[in-house]
Amino acid sequence: MNARRGSAVLSSAPLTAQPAATGLIEQSRLRLFSGSANVPLSQEVARYLGMDLGPMIRKRFADGELYVQIQESIRGCDVYLIQPSCRPVNDNFMELLIMIDACRRASARQVTAVIPYYGYARADRKTAGRESITAKLVANLLTEAGANRVLAMDLHSSQIQGYFDLPLDHIYGSPVLLNYLASKQLPDIVVVSPDVGGVARARAFAKKLDDAPLAIIDKRRQAHNVAEVLNVIGDVKGKTAVLVDDMIDTAGTITAGAKLLREEGARQVYACATHAVLSPPAVERLSSGLFEEVIVTNTIPISESDRFPQLVTLSVANLLGETIWRIHEDSSVSSMFR
């Protein structure tokens, strides 16, 4: 897998031997296409699989409408469309729906939406009257557009899996993050959940770090994207604290947590998250000196203007590529995470 720190590229061994070595992909009915949201990630996935991205025309009309045309026959093929619904969320999600519809009308045998980052995932329940459960609406739209299967990574809450009336493969970016942390051989690690809701995620992460101890930050959220941190449950004094979350958006919660951990005597603080949403003022907060490193993956493209010295970006391309291959070959996906 590849990792980018600042502008330097780090590398490590691939997840498994590339299946392309068997020469089967060229003879199969597997087809891979990329939306415009994260083309570099799609290209990495294609390289892992030993194939090229399928040709496709994407353009926007003068009035803002999107146009998609598949440029090769996909009749009877198993098509995988890679498109995270990251910023601009609505444009990228609409493009994915149009891609799905185009493939369905081109008589593809099966269409799988590969969504490394699932937008609207935080709208997964009603917290007040007259609200939409938009995560469920998104699942409905994918189904109605004609998707046969969805492959998603690190959904914000596990209940979103139940919103789909079609097969969903839910995979995790944790192996990539864990491999990187293990390579650093950090001393006296304590894994920290930034809130009570993330305890299950942090506990699973800690278990794979040689059963590292667990701490929890107790907080009270005052409004959307605003959180007040109260105290730390657990011992962090003199330890290397690793804050684990599924995403970093404005970074208010995770930086407030890091500040509290420092006050409680943590020797070093690292942040780990699969999805780097990085809405303003995230970069200013994360680069303030509270963190030794902020470790994320490339499910969402990160612009050069959003990079800072502490940022480490790891690639999930091999993980996605291996999952796509296993789905195509009707092999186990869950065994990758045991």
- For residue 239, what is the domain's CATH number? 3.40.50.2020
- Check 207, 219, 237, 259 and give the catalytic one: 219
Asked if the structure places residue 6 within a domain, the reply is no
Strand, helix or coil for residue 313: strand
Residue range of the domain that includes 198 = 174-315
Q: Do residues 150 and 187 share a domain?
A: no
Contact 42, 34 (CB under 8 A): yes
219 is catalytic: yes
Instruction: Please tell me the total count of domains within the chain.
Output: 2
Report pLDDT for 338. 78
Give the pLDDT score at 8: 37
Same domain, 307 and 329: no
CA distance 174 to 206: 11
pLDDT value of residue 7: 37
The verdict on 112 and 209 lying in the same domain is no
238 and 282 housed in the same domain = yes
Q: Are residues 119 and 258 in the same domain?
A: no
Q: Are residues 31 and 56 in the same domain?
A: yes
Predicted confidence at residue 154, as pLDDT, reads: 97
- pLDDT in single tens digits along all 338 residues of the chain: 444 444 333 434 445 545 544 445 545 899 999 999 999 999 999 999 999 999 999 999 999 999 999 999 999 999 999 999 999 999 999 999 999 999 999 999 999 999 999 999 999 999 999 999 999 999 999 999 999 999 999 999 999 999 999 999 999 999 999 999 999 999 999 999 998 889 999 999 999 999 999 999 987 666 666 656 578 999 999 999 999 999 999 999 999 999 999 999 999 999 999 999 999 999 999 999 999 999 999 999 999 999 999 999 999 999 999 999 999 999 999 999 87
CB neighbourhood size of 167 (10 A): 13
Pairing of strands 8-11, 2-5: antiparallel
